[in-house]
Amino acid sequence: MEDFEKIENKIKEMTTHNIVAKKKSPISSIALSLAGIVIIFLGSSKIVSNDIMEMSFMSVGAIAGLYGLAKLLIVAQKESVDYVYEPTNKKLKSHKIYINANDRIKMDKFIQNNDYSMLQSIGKEVSSGNMLHLFGTDDGEIFVFQMAEYVPHTFVPASPVVVLRNNEAKNMLEFINKK
Question: Are residue 141 and residue 62 in the same domain, yes or no?
Answer: no
Query: Which of 141, 64, 150, 144 has its CA nearest to residue 104?
Result: 150
* % the chain with pLDDT above 90: 33
Q: Is 14 part of a structural domain of the chain? A: no
Phi, psi of 111 (to 5 degrees): -65, -45
The single-letter code of the amino acid at 162 is: V
Phi, psi of 165 (to 5 degrees): -135, 170
Secondary structure letter of residue 45 according to DSSP: S
Question: Are residue 100 and residue 147 in the same domain, yes or no?
Answer: yes
Residue 80 or residue 10, greater confidence: 10
Q: Is 42 part of a structural domain of the chain? A: yes
Q: Is 12 part of a structural domain of the chain? A: no
67-120, pLDDT tens digit by residue?
998 988 887 776 678 889 999 999 999 999 999 888 888 988 888 888 888 888
pTM for the predicted model, two decimal places: 0.71
d(CA 76, CA 179): 37
Give the pLDDT of residue 137: 93
Confidence class for position 134, pLDDT limits 50, 70, 90: very high
148-157, pLDDT tens digit by residue?
999 998 999 9
Question: Are residue 49 and residue 100 in the same domain, yes or no?
Answer: no
Percentages of the chain per state (helix, strand, coil), in multiples of 5: 45, 25, 30
Give the pLDDT of residue 83: 87
Total domains in the fold of the chain: 2
DSSP-assigned states of every residue in 41-89: HHHHSTT---HHHHHHHHHHHHHHHHHHHHHHHHHHSTT-EEEEETTTT
Question: Are residue 104 and residue 141 in the same domain, yes or no?
Answer: yes
- CB atoms closer than 10 angstroms to residue 177: 8
Question: Are residue 94 and residue 75 in the same domain, yes or no?
Answer: no
Q: Is 108 part of a structural domain of the chain? A: yes
The domain boundary residue, chosen from 10, 45, 79:
79
Residue 61 or residue 75, greater confidence: 61
Averaged pLDDT score across all residues of the chain: 87
Domain that holds residue 69: 27-79
d(CA 169, CA 137): 9
| C-alpha distances out from residue 142 to 24, 33, 110, 175, Å | 21, 35, 17, 14
Question: Are residue 97 and residue 155 in the same domain, yes or no?
Answer: yes
Give the pLDDT of residue 1: 55
How many angstroms from the chain centroid is the CA of residue 20? 15
Confidence class for position 34, pLDDT limits 50, 70, 90: very high
